[in-house]
Amino acid sequence: MHSQKVAHYDSPHQFEPLMPGERLLGPLLEQASDLIRAVAAVGATAAQEELRALLRAMNSYYTNRIEGEHTRPIDIERALQQEFSANADTARKQRLALAHIHTETSCEKHLDQSLAEGGNVVRDLYSLKSLQWLHRSLFEQIDGEDLRLADGSNLLVGELRQAQVAIGIHEAPLHSALPGFIARWADVYGNARRGEMSIVAAAASHHRLAWIHPFSDGNGRVSRLHTHLVMYAMGLTKGLWSPLRGFARSEDRYRALLRGADEHRRGDLDGRGNLTTQGLIDWISYTLEVCIDQVQFMAAQLDVTNIQSRIEAALLFDASTKSAGVRIEALAALHYLFATQLELGRSDFKSMTGLGDRVATDLLSSLLKAGYLASDSPYGKVRFAVPRHALRFYFPNLWPEAERDVDMLKPAPAPQHEGKMRERPVAQIHKDRPRA
């Protein structure tokens, strides 16, 4: 039986296979098992909530960059402070970034609550209702001309598309058939066996959702955010890593493998579905490799044995530039907060600096103002935080674009500092991937 290039996709059997056959799953399940083991090595961090807020901004930057709709990290930071550019296009991109941040935040909080109540949150994410909610949340904050599409129509926010579309050479399913395709997508992936199989399913579902192209625009953002949330709901990310960064860092490969999995079956040895089985396998393998790479990178970044020297580098730089009253005497107390994941009373923190009370009080105030510490009240306990300008020291190469932008937030000259830990080059994820 040969696959048929149909004029119109109107039946869910036309995007089979949704999963590789049983005999082809072995290597993919091994990769999923490797991901689970890698996740176990990611330690908790004292600055978890502050770091997660930073990572949400980073995720919004990278997913919008794939669409060519990103703004600079500094503009995202300004938008978070409700400072929008006078340039209409930049302001629109700022709103897109904020929408992604807010959607990711609210979704993760909802998932946490549902998990606490014993809900099957992974299965619930695989539904038309969830997809429509994601789309609506991502785009309801922009309006007017910002919603105008290339063909002159307006984006239908949270609604399935009402017209036929083609993406490159791929002709998406008829709009009248979308509910059937989505129902089949939800049934297969939402009911995948827990554990390694559900991780393989999450990777496969990303392509098949993009292939369905349920909305008139915004499908890439919805697909990527959906994959991020499924990984989160399965307890894999802890909010401390995301495949979105990896997809953006290997964008050419990401796009090429999505297109490759769009293809029709390549012959009798390429499965029995209408679409290519090998293309789907290649996509799943790539996605799992990206996830493993991101997890391993973040595990190294959060390694408590290395953080002291990185805190020291940040403090020394700020002290050398006489920035905001920061002093190296804060090192022991900051490292203690990171290593123990505790909070300290202000008097205890000051005593750990070894300074006199007045100088220590000034230092504590400077650290709070500069973002090295966070507190829930003016006189409350303090905890470890991640100052944006020290990102290059604390977590080198995590968000290089933000590291470069930080000089616009702080007038001091950029340090010639290179973090010792380096992420495995994206080019090594696949031996045939070109070097960055």
Per the annotation, the verdict on 70 as an active-site residue is: no
Distance separating alpha carbons of residues 31 and 36, to the nearest angstrom:
9
Catalytic residue among 135, 213, 335, 389: 213
Q: Closest by alpha carbon to 214, among 155, 151, 169, 141?
A: 155
Q: For residue 66, what are its two tokens?
A: 């794939």
222 marked as binding residue: yes
The answer to whether 353 and 330 have CB atoms below 8 angstroms apart is yes
208 marked as binding residue: no
The SS3 assignment for 308 reads helix
In b/e form, how buried is each residue of 44-53, taking b as 16+ CB within 10 angstroms?
A: ebbbbebbbb
59 marked as binding residue: no
198 marked as binding residue: no
What is the DSSP code (8-state) at residue 239? T
310 marked as binding residue: no
224 marked as binding residue: yes
270 marked as binding residue: no
Kindly give the residue spans of alpha helices, DSSP state H, lying in 321-431: 331-340, 346-353, 357-370, 391-394, 400-405
Q: For residue 198, what are its two tokens?
A: 């559900």
217 marked as binding residue: yes
In b/e form, how buried is each residue of 373-412, taking b as 16+ CB within 10 angstroms?
A: bbeeeeeebbbbbbbbbbbbbbbbebbeebbebbeeebee
Which residues lie across from 154 on neighbouring strands? 148
Q: Which residue type does 119 have?
A: G
Instruction: Determine how many CB atoms are found less than 10 A away from the CB of residue 334.
Output: 25
Instruction: Write out the binding residues.
Output: 217-224
Residues identified as active-site:
213
Instruction: Write out the binding residues for ATP.
Output: 217-224
